[in-house]
Chain A
């Protein structure tokens, strides 16, 4: 069993910058780039729709109503308005295509990201080391991704339209009067310049929000995952207090961020008011000099509105972006956490199908930032040997099992199976040939059949029964009222801990490995049944290699060889009888075991 360690956590992505996040996000979801140019083209057309009405108003003012001093012209007005109607319909259609395309690319890209992140979580070492923070990992592949999707679609639409609209408005304004355009831009300049400041503030605020969401989810998971303990100790009040604190922290953070958002959003309107006044005053000033017409000055009033809208929406997008990027970062953070155990895939060397021999070559292991838990293990185990591993709690036995099945890689040295470095064995070969049965028999919330078939997906009912038979467990299976149809409940909790271990053993039997590693695999089973299974396993492992970690020394007594661990080193090795005679650590363990048996 490993010593307590401070292992690697998941990269929270906090240090990734905003642009870097977006770039990395697009790299992980290439769909986001697909057909982007076309979407932007539609967006440009859709944006043009925004100027249709102001132009129509100006034209109607100047020529339809004849305010330019000429007579009104109904024919022109009608033609112009029909063109405007057509333009509205056209730009509306473009808007449909733009939004629909954004939805499609964003959803497709994020589905890819979600699945990638999910897969990567399974490739991370921490899942097997750390069970308490799973709620937070779930949030990364669920709500964090949803957050990004909301932004990519609406934020994307609004960002594109806003920039487009500002551009179009500027072009149209320039067409009417460069002086007034300058006035408008000057009025908005302070706002644009302050955006960077607000972006930093908002980014920090929303970083806190996403972090609090993670903490809150962990707290909410407590009464659900720990339902039994909470009731047994009647600590409902304390649990609720902790949840309330997390919820309150989340609420306060979100409200603070919202206040900042509201303030930055309101600034656009103030600039707008300034611009309106500026346009009228400067317009009159320039107009008096004869450079612009009355119609142009009034059209500018509409154009300023056209300008204020997107600026305000732009600040809004900036806000949403901070929230979404905070979520995106967290998802990308997972993908950037190195899966320190990597699959060599096609480049690797598959294991040949035969009993496996094991070589530990100066193997050492330390959890990141922790003390070494294994020192210089240098042993060879011949093919077809049944080895028992014993030692005190925390002496490094489980670590050895994890290295042997490549749940982790050694810090120093190498583990070789059949002379091949484990790091070079492709996972599909490794997982078929080498199976670890852990102490905790986790089952999925399905029927027994599905759980057993997890060992071999194409197994028939007959195969399942045969595997149970082989382990001398047929009577247990027959004793279940609904047999293979038995629902096992969440985590298998409708079965007892011992029964869950039985399922795990049958599952391993179905996988038919050449090297079987048992890590306290029968610790919750009664002694009689354990011995029965032990005998069955012995027959089954005939001609294969097995490594069993056990507290119950009966396993060691029956093994070909015993490896004795003490503080991360192998201190004794040999058959049980010889080791007992030798005394030492094994002698002490054995004496304690005998005393435990009350003999």
Chain B
């Protein structure tokens, strides 16, 4: 079968999943099972107490026509004692099952999220967010659902063994007759499992789809709203919600048959035992007490048999959930890191070397054919402390190139080197200690301003404020209700695009990187603010007595470009030209057209006023 989740879930698979849990939490399992066995034993003991009380207290009292206080107290003590011990068993069993279930959930959630952090970005791009969230949430939950009834079921088996032995000892024929119900119970369970598992597989997949649709749709809320597509989006969601509903109803119908059948089987057995018992009693083959004992024991085990049924009923969903989670855990292709270290901040600006790099986006549409390379033969060096502007038309590969420089992806051919060391040879975290990227689209963590800027660094407030000031974010952060400790993203505390970008900028600046990469990082702020940010960048380095970092800027604004020592002009995924801004303006007409577009536009309409004509 193609997908692992498409396979049928058998009872054996269900027990195998439980086996994983038992091996991981043997002690909690033992403890809760002991609680369950205690409970079971005491349930049987209850029958014994009832029998004892009947023989030693009820019948003699009726016969003698008087109530014996001593015996009465013994009866009360026995019943209450057994009941309290049984309560202890219940607490041990249920609390144990809960501890085990939630530990397993937590354990697998940790494992899955670790995997998410390990797997390369390309893998993330291939998998919808909603699906990944569903794997870590509802699939994990489904996988460990049968742990709740597990100790009960195990205890039940122990209890059933005791009860069955008692029954057999009481009256062999009656007991064997009553026990006919048991193989039938097993047959019904197996049948149920077979019919239910494909429905459960489908339901779990639909749950993931629902989560995917909701996530994407909420993500694109702005587009949905501005184009008035709420109804279409709702239809898209409703189609899946209704499919899930129908599958659940079908699976429910099956369960509606299963439950009463499971419940009736032992009850019918009791009736048969009673009929046969009376007949045997009248024929003198059975004692009246034994008939009652066997009948009572059958009713005692009837309820636990249902708990076995619950265990089995949860299994198909569990197996499906476990498989979906295991599929994530089994993913390989994590990014590998070397041993080499890179100098951190303070060591002066870094040297960046891009050597003959070629890169094709793995998910760029051409799924069947060989993907068209997005970058080809990219080869340039930025000497320490120099600044380079990366200029090129829309979709020429600029952002892709920046993602290679921070090793979000690795090149297919060629290498990116920092101070001569291939990025792939650097140990984990080394690159981030030296290089910071401010991407075009920013991500803000569900955390405080402080947390968003400092991330894993332990920084004092002054340092954070300094970075915020340089990023022109100081004023609006000061205006936030709790300043640095304002939680972003919670309860509608929202930032505009420009403000988010400046938080991201502060996040990069606070690290005093040796190589700073700005990917159109000021696109959401107006020219004035951008001007102040660029000035602050220069001042910050000077004020700290550092050499300014090596700087790579993706930019369209001429002021930004003109500040750079050198321009790398990218077109169609290749370096079309490189040199200073002036050189390129003079010799490359394509470049000139690109960066002068605004002025060319204005030429036929010269306007009067401040410094407009001073070109």
Contacts and interface: CB of A to CB of B under 8 A. Distances in A.
Given A49-B263, A77-B278, A298-B58, 4 more contacts: A60-B278, A115-B234, A118-B214, A142-B214
B450 interface: no
Contact of A228 (B121, B367, B527, B594): B121
Given A103-B253, A265-B90, A435-B226, A526 B476 contact: no
Interface string B257-279: 10111011001101100110111
B4 interface: no
A454 interface: yes
Contact of B291 (A9, A65, A444, A583): A65
B599 A56 contact: no
A44 interface: no
A153 B253 CA distance: 12
B420 interface: no
A525 B128 CA distance: 27
A440 B222 CA distance: 9
B609 to A, nearest CB: 4
Interface in B127-142: 128-130, 132-134, 136-138, 141
A3 B432 contact: no
Nearest to B490: A133
Q: Interface extent on B, as a size class?
A: 35 or more
Interface string A481-512: 11001111111011111110010100100010
Contact of A270 (B84, B110, B303): B84
Given A57-B295, A511-B227, A597-B558, A440 B491 contact: no
A56 B271 contact: yes
B558 A596 contact: yes
Given A442-B220, A596-B531, A597-B559, A85 B271 contact: yes
B344 to A, nearest CB: 12
Interface in A297-318: 297-298, 301-302, 305, 309
Contact of B226 (A56, A95, A405, A495): A405
Contacts of A114: 210, 237, 241
Interface stretch (A14-22, A234-242, A347-355): A234-242
A305 B222 CA distance: 59
A107 B365 CA distance: 38
Question: Most chain-B CB neighbours within 10 Å: which of A96, A153, A486?
Answer: A96
B608 to A, nearest CB: 6
A414 to B, nearest CB: 21
A581 B608 contact: yes
A460 interface: no
Contacts of A504: 223
A469 B134 CA distance: 41
B491 A6 contact: yes
B292 A288 contact: no
Interface residues of A, number: 220
Contacts of B493: 4-7, 130
B461 interface: no
Contact of B494 (A61, A129, A238, A298): A129
Contacts of A243: 109-110, 113
A297 B102 contact: no
Interface stretch (B8-16, B73-81, B163-171, B172-180): B73-81
Contacts of B54: 298
Given A497-B441, A597-B557, A392 B600 contact: no
- List the 9 closest pairs (A to B, CB-CB), nearest first: A273-B83, A431-B228, A132-B489, A103-B252, A258-B98, A7-B492, A234-B432, A498-B394, A277-B79
A61 B292 contact: yes
Contacts of A132: 444-446, 488-490
A445 B456 CA distance: 32
Contacts of B476: 3-4, 394
Interface stretch (A165-173, A194-202, A374-382, A584-592): A584-592
B259 A234 contact: no
Nearest to A137: B218
Interface stretch (A218-226, A321-329, A358-366): A218-226
A507 B116 contact: no
Contacts of B296: 57, 302
Contact of B492 (A129, A221, A254): A129
Interface stretch (B59-67, B153-161, B190-198): B59-67
A174 interface: no
Most buried by A among B245, B490, B524: B245
A59 to B, nearest CB: 9
A405 B253 CA distance: 48
A442 B225 CA distance: 12
B133 A135 contact: yes
Name the residue in B141, B222, B367 with the highest tally of chain A Cβ atoms < 10 Å from its Cβ. B222
B561 A392 contact: no
Contacts of A121: 218, 221
15 contacts: A9-B492, A65-B281, A121-B221, A138-B215, A146-B138, A219-B446, A224-B129, A228-B439, A234-B428, A273-B82, A427-B230, A438-B223, A445-B128, A491-B219, A588-B528
A151 B56 CA distance: 45
B53 interface: yes
B485 to A, nearest CB: 14
B579 interface: no
A133 B610 contact: no
Contacts of B82: 273
Contact of B95 (A258, A489, A498): A258
A74 B278 contact: yes
B223 A592 contact: no
B460 interface: no
Given A4-B476, A226-B443, A431-B228, A528 B393 contact: yes
Interface string B415-443: 00000000000001101110011011111
A231 to B, nearest CB: 6
A131 B612 CA distance: 41
Contacts of B271: 53, 56, 81, 84-85, 88
A531 interface: yes
A462 interface: no
A68 B214 CA distance: 68
B580 interface: no
B99 interface: yes
